[in-house]
Structure 1
């Protein structure tokens, strides 16, 4: 069974590893062309996905139903499309602009859904796990 919390946490740490590896590579080569990609991997991949995963862990009832699955799907697809298209753009290689725009729309929509999920889960009387 899909655990939204576990999957966000796993993707978060994988993103941290990828973002840090890119940072090390940039430093070793003294080529910081992809610094924006590095920042996006760390922010959208590591920070956001870890926070999503931790939120769903603290509010397990928020992880039930179709809304968290749509949130997860849009977050992951948007991230996986944005990173290569952004990379190609900064390397001044041909890239597919509609894919870049679509990924940005997916990511903003996923954050909008997460906002709804947070407000619903933190309403009075919602189940929460003590930390």
Structure 2
């Protein structure tokens, strides 16, 4: 049986949050939060593979949330969901950071699943590489 990875969906618009969670729940274990503060509390209690967050939210924006989330759980991957205009205004500032996969609104549900699956595979590979690196380090110490 394939491992069921965990996705944390964060959006301050409740209808968007529940729709995204429903779409992703067929393939993933889904946690939800309506803001960055609630998302960070969930990250304290749960191991998460992907954080899928809206960019524009009250309080911390999606980029700030992804920075803190990856500091807490370095193996997770991020998906930033944003509208064209707001992303294009901030593109130069955020583009080089490599914190996330980008999903532009409006999007088809199948596209959301595809991007989150790609991010989840990236998170899984990060965990595998970290584990292999640790094993190699332990093996070298034995030699």
**Structure with greater helix percent:** 1
Higher relative contact order (CA 8 A, sep 6+): 1
Query: Which structure has the highest strand share of the two?
Result: 2
TM-score under structure 1 length normalisation: 0.35
TM-score by length of 2: 0.33
